């Protein structure tokens, strides 16, 4: 599946729900791999704000982004529209602090994007295919959002506000669901008892009867309802009664559908589409963001493991222990690699089977055997030595010596029974005998240690 952008620019005008600011928002086509970025054209220097979960600065009733001194708020509905229409690359220029609320749904954004036209690009979409479950849970609120490995994308949303009117609601979404007709038109909603508190926090300066569904759990006397309307700057809110008091629902479960709309938009701040099954119970912007941060952590973890070497013990090694000893001067008990399973001009992979009989376990530590981190670095260096010496003739007459160790990190214990894969990759071509390498040590699907090493190749003669 290819990346997509819009064919031509399109402008939307409207008012921010929380700030009440009138804004002009123009979406511009963007190149492959540009991603989604906002640009505050009203600020000095017209700064950019990346649509990235790492830029989220607030989730109080909406999702807000900050980069440097520039901020943009209430991005969830435009992000949802872009996610629903599979738009990967777009520049969103806006002359105010908040994305317009329009009718409280994503319909206005969807209509604008479709009017501009959608264009397929050359580069493939970069999907994040989840390998392991990711779970966010908030015991205080009862919120739980779970991601499970799956071949495609699917989302299930369940909401329960302990409302006798709203009840429990459910909505599911997958690749066969038509986002435009089933999700995009579902509006934000608010309970009547929340309105005064929101107004007191200056959170709905741009709110009106046209951009939110108002739900009353209990009937409020019309007089009190009208007084509340005046406090909010409106002539009326609706008629006294239980249930939805200011409009008609577009779907019986419109609130659940809107929560799904929000979740899609918030998750798109991951920066890429996801292949996973998402089950969300009582989601909200704060929970959505915490969950998306966990997804981002998992993505980064999987990306590190993407180039993890594959090890099959039945495959004959490129170099055995005997072969290694012909190239390296190290001997037992200080020869810390058993065999080489991959070797090219730019990388090498060595294997070390860690047994309880290793001499260092006698003192590190009695009753709690853990392989010292410095010996893991030494094993990396020996593995890297094989790579470095492969670049010279008559390998047996050369040695490699440490010059520098940088960025060393030790992430997990290595214990008896573990098999370590040491992967060393050149960071730059070998020049004047100087070899710069990045080393990564794997046990199973874990990175146990990593470091950047610099060594010098020296002739023994």
Q: Which of 34, 234, 347, 364 is catalytic?
A: 364
Furthest-apart CA pair in the chain: how many Å? 100
Is 285 assigned a catalytic role?
A: yes
Distance CA 158, CA 175 (A): 19
- Whether the bond into 263 is cis, omega within 30 of 0: no
Q: Which of 234, 285, 347, 412 is catalytic?
A: 285
* Active centre residues (catalytic): 285, 364
């Amino acid at each position: 599946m290819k990346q997509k952008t819009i064919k031509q620019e399109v402008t939307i005008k409207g008012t921010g729900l929380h700030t009440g600011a009138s804004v002009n928002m123009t979406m511009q086509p963007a190149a492959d791999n540009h991603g989604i970025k906002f640009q505050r054209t009203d600020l000095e220097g017209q700064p950019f704000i990346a649509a990235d979960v790492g830029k989220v600065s607030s989730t109080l009733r909406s999702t807000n982004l900050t980069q440097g001194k520039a901020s943009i708020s209430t991005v969830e509905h435009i992000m949802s529209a872009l996610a629903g229409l599979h738009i990967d690359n777009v520049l969103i220029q806006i002359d105010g602090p908040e994305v317009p609320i329009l009718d409280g749904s994503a319909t206005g954004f969807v209509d604008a994007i479709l009017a501009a036209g959608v264009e397929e690009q050359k580069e493939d979409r970069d999907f994040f295919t989840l390998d392991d479950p990711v779970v966010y849970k908030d015991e205080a609120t009862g919120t739980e959002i779970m991601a499970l490995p799956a071949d495609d994308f699917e989302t299930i949303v369940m909401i329960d506000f302990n409302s006798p009117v709203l009840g429990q609601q459910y909505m599911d979404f997958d690749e066969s669901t038509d986002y435009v007709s089933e999700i995009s038109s579902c509006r934000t909603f608010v309970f009547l008892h929340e309105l005064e508190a929101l107004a007191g926090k200056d959170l709905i300066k741009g709110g009106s009867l046209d951009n939110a569904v108002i739900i009353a759990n209990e009937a409020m006397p019309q007089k009190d309802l009208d007084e509340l309307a005046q406090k909010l700057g409106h002539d009326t809110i609706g008629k006294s009664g239980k249930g939805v008091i200011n409009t008609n629902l577009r779907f019986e479960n419109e609130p659940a559908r809107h929560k799904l709309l929000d979740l899609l938009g918030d998750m798109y701040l991951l920066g890429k589409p996801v292949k996973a099954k998402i089950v969300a119970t009582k989601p909200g912007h704060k929970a959505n963001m915490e969950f998306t941060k966990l997804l981002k952590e998992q993505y980064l973890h999987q990306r590190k493991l993407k180039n993890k070497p594959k090890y099959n013990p039945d495959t004959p090694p490129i170099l055995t222990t005997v072969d290694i000893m012909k190239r390296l001067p190290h001997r037992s008990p200080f020869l810390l690699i058993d065999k080489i399973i991959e070797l090219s001009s730019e990388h090498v992979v060595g294997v070390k089977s860690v047994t309880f009989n290793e001499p260092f376990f006698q003192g590190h530590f009695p009753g709690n055997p853990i392989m010292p981190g410095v010996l893991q670095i030494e094993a990396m260096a020996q593995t890297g030595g094989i790579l470095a010496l492969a670049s010279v003739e008559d390998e047996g007459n050369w040695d490699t010596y440490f010059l520098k160790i940088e960025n060393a990190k030790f992430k997990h214990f290595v214990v008896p029974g573990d098999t370590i894969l040491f992967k060393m990759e050149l960071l730059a071509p070998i020049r004047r005998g100087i070899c710069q390498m990045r080393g990564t040590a794997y046990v199973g699907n874990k990175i146990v240690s990593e470091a950047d090493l610099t060594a010098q190749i020296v002739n023994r003669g």
